[in-house]
Structure 1
Amino acid sequence: MDFTNLLNDTSGKVSKVGVIGATKGYGYTLLAQILTTAHMELRCICSRHTDECFAVLKEIGFDEKRFLLCETIEEIQKAPKDAIIITPDYKMVMETDITAMVECTGNTKVSSDAALIALNKGINVYMVSKETDSVCGPILNHIAAEKGLVYSLVNGDQPRNLLDLISWARILGLEIICAGKSSEYDFVLDWETGKFLYNDGTHESEPLPELKEYWTYKGVDTLKSRDKLLQKYREVISADLCEMNLVSNVSGFTPSAPFMNYPIAKPNELANIFIPKEDGGILEKTGVVDIFYNLRETNEASFCGGEFIVVRAKDQKMWEILAGKGHVMSSNGKYCCIYYPFHFMGLETPISILLGDFMGIGTHAECRQVTVMAGVAEKDLPAGTELKVYGHHHQIDGLVPELLEKSVTGNAAPFYLLNGAKLLRDVKQGTPVTLDDVDLSGLSTFELFKKGLELG
């Protein structure tokens, strides 16, 4: 998309942004980029740790003379129009004159409530908390559409970037065989020393020169050999499956497998891997979402947790021309992989806000609960076990996530509704936690999830 007309807008309109849950990581990158984005102002920031807000805004370069702590509606009403309001109460954010509410707490209860308050006040919602969208996305999209407002996933996180790539392919009439992303961290080999590193920051490098034997892709057996050699590094990551849950609910694509395939692969191999088995790939069906671990040398660029689609190459001559340009084609010439090897976190997000506030782009009224992310017991879990979301990947101790088509979920409980729940009875290893195993009554996000299911 060309943003020149948006950049040159002379209407005087400005996106006034309120950010909930932002001082570190993603939030920091967003705040830093708002400072330089055209037609955009930071109006309000919310965190329980208001001292961190003051420190971060000052560090980024916002004018500290404009900072104002407000804890009540009355204080907000008295605030100067150019003040950057800092508040510990997320509900106060919607009492300011913002046009855009960005939610990035990762807390399903807070973010769903904040989204509803914003939409009811005529404020567009930009949802970073993928945990919330995985259970409430369908109904929140529906409510926004009914009100003529925007509810949007954001660029800078993989689901929106991948959905943009999918929509690009669909408008061109390309048949998408598989859509997906690389997992967050790469598998890296130092070719000279033979040392291997899984660069998630928790693993030391180890000598693994035998990986060179499986460096050149020679078919599915190569994947099996890599998997066997690197088995201890392979895992099903909650954040990955949650992101594919979001993509599935908007695109209609279904999971390739409940735990995803996670092949260890290089980008130039993807068009040979994410294709039907009868053509030498790994897929049992097409029109699916999947994930891979990016394999590279130390001197090669990362895939950066980026996104890809594999499409069918129907016009042989056209795709031969494109193959000559160096695009990633399958060995049999039937498929091509198209990819964005990036997601720039909050750096990209202002684009989504401007597209929503200025052009009304974002809401997917067609979003439905196509898939449900459930949690399977890794071991026998006794009654009384409290389930808690924790860590960078927002996992739950004792559970491994799986992504299931709605038609086969039965009464499996959505993964991110389990945070804080206690098991009412024993759950055996290998079985999902169901709605009968926990008490979710009175949980507002559960009610929103059920309303989403009623959309059909």
Structure 2
Amino acid sequence: MNLHRLLLQRQAQGRPVRVAVIGAGKFGSMFLHQAPRTPGLHVLGIADLSIPRIRANLARIHWPEEAGAAPDAATAARTGATWLTEDSLALIGDPHVEVVVEATGDPAAGLRHARHAIRNGKHVVMVNVEADVLAGPVLAREAAAAGVVYSMAYGDQPALVAELVDTIRTGGFQVVAAGKGTKYLPAYHASTPETVWDFYGLTADQAREGGMNPRMFNSFLDGTKSGIEAAAIANATGLAPPEDGLAFPPAGTSQLPDLLRPREAGGILARKGVVEVVSSLTRDGAEIPDNLRWGVYVVFEGDTEYARRCFAEYGVATDSTGRYAALWRPYHFIGLELGVSVASAALRREPTGCSERWAADCVAIAKRDLRVGEALDGEGGATVWGKCIPSTRSSALGAVPIGLAHGVTLARAVPQGALVTEADLRPRPAGAEQALEMRAALQSVSKD
């Protein structure tokens, strides 16, 4: 409740929180739009593979021209300007940087950048959920050992769910289910970058004019992004993922406490304490009026008559028995809220959600019958989609995580709907060694 006050203090002291932003895409640009409007924050540098792309995105968000004029980090620190560079490791390692925002969306790059930041004593805000699900608990341990913060990104749904769960647990209630909303139909699992715009009611030309990335939008549509984010929520909260993946039940906010309660109480859950994603559409494609497509929720239990009476007295949304209640937030601001994570890490040394355990994984599932010799194209592609399952099951089956299902070739055929395993692959090309090493380290995290 006091982050803004602490930022004002740093501003008054002439010591703003200095931030390095790695990746100037959509999420990074949303944060960059707000940063100059936030007292006590200074974007010291922005790194991306293309400086012209940085400049184009900065122009789109009305970035102050004078803020991008620094030739190096030292000058930026002295003048309050911002250094634009293609050298992400140099920016991360600069001694003036306090917090690193990793927003590339590339899992392998995210792991590399986060490790470099931790080794250089920087706090890390991991926008890159793909990297976090691949090996976030390992990074969290390394950060703790180094005395720095490793944090989920506030404004993204996993961090907001973690906040709701923490609020409810701190109040002494048991969490029955928690998660997010999305637009989902079973047919979406087969979507490809070539067909994705049909589901959104757009032509390819319209999408191109709007600067919309077909792979990114396909990941949201085909269930992969939901699987990744559900795994991140499970790893941060300890809530259990469904044994065979998310069910995506259709539900509006008024239905949450009746639907997301145990089966013996009339709901759909096999047990209490799970993560689930609800759909904004009924299975026949109709939009649910009070849907939670952009939001997050938690369902919790009033286990005494007194608690249930209090629920009724204060208008808490409950199931028909009054025992199970729901709290939700209908939308999230994405990168526009990311400053909360930056300030929390730097000023309170607290993460806004953190992957503390390996409870869940997001694994590759064949979208169609895949042939020997085919190359997988990863998240948002045409060959596989990502399903959230328990980490114990993923480990036992040798499942290929969706974050490592790109640019690898099949040694044997995989039928549609089947889980892709490491045994199905030909030897991996060079470049994934660090990610594989960190994945192996997850085994020790899951045993603690």
Shared fold, TM over 0.5 = yes
Paired residue type of 1:41: H
Aligned runs of 1:315-330 on 2, under 5 Å?
315-330=304-319
Q: 1:408 Cα deviation (Å)?
A: 1.9
Residue 253 of structure 2 contacts residue 290 of structure 2 at CA under 8 Å; is this kept in 1? no
Q: 1:43 Cα deviation (Å)?
A: 0.9
Specify the alignment match of 2:440 in structure 1.
450
Q: Which stretches in structure 1 are left out of the alignment for 5+ residues?
A: 187-198, 206-233
Q: 1:3 Cα deviation (Å)?
A: 3.7
Residue 19 of structure 2 contacts residue 44 of structure 2 at CA under 8 Å; is this kept in 1? yes
Q: Give distance in 1, aligned partners of 2:75 and 2:159.
A: 37
Which residue among 78, 84, 89 is the counterpart of 1:86? 84
- Higher Rg of the two aligned structures: 1
Q: Deviations over 1:159-205 (max 9, x none)?
A: 1111111111111111011111101589xxxxxxxxxxxx9884449
Q: Deviations over 1:326-372 (max 9, x none)?
A: 32100011100111212111111101100100111018787121112
Of 292-301 and 126-135, the range deviating more from structure 2: 292-301
The TM-score, its normalising length taken from structure 1, stands at 0.82
Identity %: 26
Q: 1:7 Cα deviation (Å)?
A: 4.5
Residue 237 of structure 1 contacts residue 395 of structure 1 at CA under 8 Å; is this kept in 2? no
Specify the alignment match of 1:270 in structure 2.
256
Specify the alignment match of 1:44 in structure 2.
45
Paired residue type of 2:125: Y
Paired residues in the alignment total 407
Mark the CA change 1:12 to 1:359 in structure 2 (over 3 Å): closer, same or farther: farther
Mark the CA change 1:353 to 1:203 in structure 2 (over 3 Å): closer, same or farther: closer
Paired residue type of 1:158: Q
Q: Give distance in 2, aligned partners of 1:134 and 1:140.
A: 11
Secondary structure of 1:125's counterpart equals strand
The structure where helix makes up a greater share of residues is 2
Of 274-283 and 2-11, the range deviating more from structure 2: 2-11
Specify the alignment match of 2:21 in structure 1.
19
Paired residue type of 2:50: H
Residue 256 of structure 1 contacts residue 285 of structure 1 at CA under 8 Å; is this kept in 2? no
Secondary structure of 1:278's counterpart equals helix
Q: Deviations over 1:227-270 (max 9, x none)?
A: xxxxxxx9751000100101111211111352311111210110
Confirm or deny that 1:362 pairs with 2:351. Answer: yes
Specify the alignment match of 2:384 in structure 1.
399
Paired residue type of 1:47: D
Secondary structure of 1:305's counterpart equals coil
Q: Give distance in 2, aligned partners of 1:78 and 1:269.
A: 55
Q: 1:399 Cα deviation (Å)?
A: 2.0
Residue 159 of structure 2 contacts residue 352 of structure 2 at CA under 8 Å; is this kept in 1? no
Which residue among 203, 224, 235 is the counterpart of 1:249? 235
Secondary structure of 2:406's counterpart equals coil
Residue 126 of structure 1 contacts residue 152 of structure 1 at CA under 8 Å; is this kept in 2? yes
Paired residue type of 2:139: L
RMSD, matched Cα: 2.8
Aligned runs of 1:275-424 on 2, under 5 Å?
275-294=261-280, 303-362=292-351, 367-389=356-378, 394-409=379-394, 410=396, 411-424=398-411
Secondary structure of 1:156's counterpart equals coil
Secondary structure of 1:6's counterpart equals helix
Of 431-440 and 105-114, the range deviating more from structure 2: 431-440
Residue 181 of structure 1 contacts residue 291 of structure 1 at CA under 8 Å; is this kept in 2? yes
Residue 176 of structure 1 contacts residue 310 of structure 1 at CA under 8 Å; is this kept in 2? yes
The TM-score, its normalising length taken from structure 2, stands at 0.83
